[in-house]
Structure 1
Amino acid sequence: MTQPRATTKPGAIDRRLIERCLNDRSGGLGFPPVLERSYESYRREYRARVMSSTIVPSLLIYNLFLVIDYLLLPSTFAIALFCHLLVVTPLLLVADLVVRQRPGLWVRECLSASMPLAMAAQLLFIFYLNRGVDNAEHYQYAISGILTYANVNQKPPFRFALVSTLILVAGYCSVLVAAHTDFPTLLVGMSLVSGVGYVTLVANYRMERDARYAFLRRTHDRLEYEISEHAATHDPLTGLANRHEFDRRSARLQADRRLSNTSIGVLMLDVDNFKAYNDHFGHPAGDACLKRIAAAISAQLRNDDDLAVRYGGEEFLVLLFDTTLADTAVIAERLRHTIETFRMPHVQSHTHVTLSIGAAAGRLADQPLAELITRADAALYDAKRAGRNQVSPCVEAAHDASANAPR
């Protein structure tokens, strides 16, 4: 039989932490670690989509530059054609395929940065081969388009954009100096690339800042919705599902014909002599008692299909999916024993708080859920009549649920 699971509640990321980040006006790009991990998880999917949507037009535009090679530098056109089609294009395709597999941050961004750097290396290589040729001084200005592609089109994180920009600008300036470029061309080229680098980095910074803010807003709105949804479907005291959620789940369960052969276990639980406990110890103590019992019930749920409901004041209902009557009774007995071991002091004839539990199970194809609940409720009366603090499995098709027994 499946072991009990620990339950979780919505809002694993603290809403106050998100609100604090939303109100932070420092302009930084960092999040606290828990938020940064969530942002990176989202970013991994986004970056894969960006890569897949831009790789084809990027390759098309990049290889159209062969026309410029042919017109400006025909003597090295064959080398340029080789570099374009057999070196850089395959590298870009491989990088795209790897990024689509959602690798980690460093692998993804280093591969992403390698694409414009490879384009720039090819361009500067052809420029260097044609050093001294009149048209070459115009050819190398295309580096500004690669910078724009790297920082704006690819939208890498700012720190990666900054490093790749510095590498590209440093490489560009080094090649121009090594090629003994005349001073006017050198000055114009360095000024142009430095300006484009600065402008695209500013744009990249603002895009990441806006992306992070949008992520915070989206996460905040999602948490607000989850909290509202949880409040509408769960009992505020115990955190268990309320009757509204039970009715919704029951209607869905009955409407889904694929579940007709599913065996459902039903537990009806009642805190023995709870009115006397409440009257003697007071309502705050009574609330604390119910909350502790509800936590014990939640701990026995095995998966997200199982459902625990606060059915009434001190009465609870549990639905167990794909469960036989024997397994249902085992879970009920384990829960009864757990409450008994708490040894919460009681009054009157009891020395501590106990549970009486009625159990029933059956296929939905044989009887509707309402009938299973009626049988479990009848079994609960049997447990009460037999002296309380026990589990009573219902093995008959019907019981008289109207028997007069103290609750």
Structure 2
Amino acid sequence: MLHSQDLRLSDSHELASAAEGGQLSAALLIDDEIVRYGMEWRTDGSAAILKFAPEIEQRFEADTRVERSRELRLTIAFGIGFYLLTGVTDFVLVPDVGASAQGIKALVAALIVIPVLFVARLPPRVREIIATFVAILAITSLATIANSSSAPLAPFSFVTAALALIYANTTFPLQFRYAVVCSAACCGVMSLELYLNSEIGTALSCMLAFQTLVGGTFSLITSYRIERSTRLSYLLSSREGLRLQMLAAERERLTALSNTDELTGLVNRRHFDRESAAALSSSTNAGKDVALLFIDVDHFKRYNDHYGHHAGDGCLRAVASAISEALRGTDTMAARYGGEEFAILLLDVTQAESQMIADRVCRSVSARSLQHLNRKDSLNLVTISVGVACGSIGGGITLDGLIESADIALYAAKRGGRNRVQFNLAQAAA
């Protein structure tokens, strides 16, 4: 079946140009970010900043939001499992508070589960703040449990909290700036608890605090590199995606241009012939009625001679616009066929319907009231003559046959006085 054609393509060209302009702007911003990310932070401090330009940052969040939410749900769930499994070590390291430790962990785990259920619906900043709070809550609770025990092996329980901090920074992973906040808060709380715990010697407290600080620092370096790599990968993939989109848009634009008559905006003869031949040979259209309207601007040579070729071009554009307006809302294809000739292919329409459409096209052109004072008759307006060939698809009907039949009808319309519609009744009966 013949698909609806865009009779005048200038609007679509403007929209395509605007869309392409937006893509180009985004591509340039992305290129700038890639250049910045490729710099050494020692030569340009901005290269170390893990934040895009505002427009790219918004795109980044929009494009990665679903994946980030899914990642947080998965790693939080895995983290809860790790958090609860540390209860096994509690009965070895802090047996005197083992039962209460399990109660604390159960309560904390329950509190952590609640935001997990809604993480996908939260704004980005709120989502990351809650993730950071969850990490701080879990880590500090482990440190508090270790600090509340007087068992001989209780200091080693601080190692569990340090491992949880490393997990938050590298496996969760928290965004780097939030990982810094989490690390500072947790290291501060753990150092304070070690300092206040009189049962742990100063040397051991300092060693545990130092190990926690080193682990936190190393995990922050890893967090930074993970986020930087993620962001750079996003920039590179986005640039490639935009390039592909721009290439596709350019191909579409060039295809449209190659199929379009530059003067009128209608499809050109080559495209019309190709699409019409395909429609007539399609098995899905077999048996359907078809009509070909061949249109010629009356006394166009005399119009050019009188008003000049520039005015003649304006006349053809006005006629094309009138044809498009008359065909709006119909499943048709109109073309500038050459010079002052136009062609319209109608599918699945009866002879009466094609007569109605042809008359509407004639009236639409006349309604433009384009002055033509060099006619041989007394109309003094630009008009058209229409030849219509009708038939049924199948039985050997061809585009060449329809064109020949419509051309005969067109000349009959001109001999009959112009500004009229003439059917090739022999073709209609065939």
Sort the Cα spacing of 1:250 and 1:138 in 2 relative to 1 into closer, same or farther, 3 A.
same
After superposition, the CA RMSD in angstroms is 4.6
> Distance between the aligned counterparts of 1:143 and 1:369, measured in 2?
77
Sort the Cα spacing of 1:169 and 1:238 in 2 relative to 1 into closer, same or farther, 3 A.
same
Q: CA deviation at 1:165?
A: 5.0
1:9 to 7, 12, 32: 12
Sort the Cα spacing of 1:359 and 1:321 in 2 relative to 1 into closer, same or farther, 3 A.
same
Note if 1:297 corresponds to 2:323: yes
- Residue 359 of structure 1 is matched in structure 2 by 388
- Residue 253 of structure 1 is matched in structure 2 by 279
Sort the Cα spacing of 1:69 and 1:23 in 2 relative to 1 into closer, same or farther, 3 A.
same
Within-5 A mapping of 1:87-126: 120=135, 123-124=138-139
The answer to which of 234-243 and 253-262 deviates more is: 253-262
Structure 1: stretches of 5+ with no match in the other structure: 99-105, 152-160, 401-407
Query: What's the CA shift string for 1:88-144, capped at 9, x where partnerless?
Result: 789768867x8xxxxxxx76x579759966973674375356342523434444444
Q: CA deviation at 1:301?
A: 4.4
> Distance between the aligned counterparts of 1:121 and 1:359, measured in 2?
81
Aligned length: 370
Q: CA deviation at 1:283?
A: 2.5
- Residue 385 of structure 1 is matched in structure 2 by 415
Partner SS, residue 296 of structure 2: strand
Sort the Cα spacing of 1:51 and 1:296 in 2 relative to 1 into closer, same or farther, 3 A.
farther
Query: What's the CA shift string for 1:52-75, capped at 9, x where partnerless?
Result: 997998689657746963665565
Note if 1:268 corresponds to 2:294: yes
Sort the Cα spacing of 1:31 and 1:244 in 2 relative to 1 into closer, same or farther, 3 A.
farther
| TM-score of the superposed pair, with normalisation by structure 1 | 0.69
The answer to which of 87-96 and 194-203 deviates more is: 87-96
Within-5 A mapping of 1:4-403: 8-10=11-13, 11-13=16-18, 15-16=20-21, 18-19=23-24, 22-23=27-28, 26-27=32-33, 29-30=53-54, 50=67, 65=82, 69=86, 72-73=89-90, 75=98, 120=135, 123-124=138-139, 127=142, 130-132=145-147, 133=154, 134-148=156-170, 165-167=176-178, 169-171=180-182, 173-178=184-189, 180-182=192-194, 183-184=209-210, 187-188=213-214, 190-192=216-218, 194-302=220-328, 306-346=332-372, 347-349=374-376, 350-365=379-394, 368=397, 370=399, 371-394=401-424, 396-398=426-428
> Distance between the aligned counterparts of 1:296 and 1:148, measured in 2?
66
Contact 1:88 1:118 in 2 (8 A): no
Contact 1:310 1:317 in 2 (8 A): yes
The answer to which of 56-65 and 273-282 deviates more is: 56-65
> Distance between the aligned counterparts of 2:300 and 2:262, measured in 1?
19
Q: Which has more radius of gyration?
A: 2
State the one-letter code of the partner of 2:258: A
Partner SS, residue 357 of structure 1: strand
> Distance between the aligned counterparts of 1:319 and 1:26, measured in 2?
50
**What is the percentage of aligned positions where both structures have the same residue?**
25
The answer to which of 262-271 and 361-370 deviates more is: 361-370
Query: What's the CA shift string for 1:373-406, capped at 9, x where partnerless?
Result: 4444343333222221223355554599xxxxxx
Q: CA deviation at 1:230?
A: 1.7
Partner SS, residue 316 of structure 1: strand
Query: What's the CA shift string for 1:152-185, capped at 9, x where partnerless?
Result: xxxxxxxxx8xx6545543554455455444435
> Distance between the aligned counterparts of 1:167 and 1:386, measured in 2?
85
> Distance between the aligned counterparts of 1:364 and 1:245, measured in 2?
20
| TM-score of the superposed pair, with normalisation by structure 2 | 0.65
State the one-letter code of the partner of 2:380: T
State the one-letter code of the partner of 2:303: Y
Contact 1:259 1:364 in 2 (8 A): yes
> Distance between the aligned counterparts of 2:353 and 2:308, measured in 1?
36
Sort the Cα spacing of 1:30 and 1:51 in 2 relative to 1 into closer, same or farther, 3 A.
closer
Partner SS, residue 356 of structure 1: strand
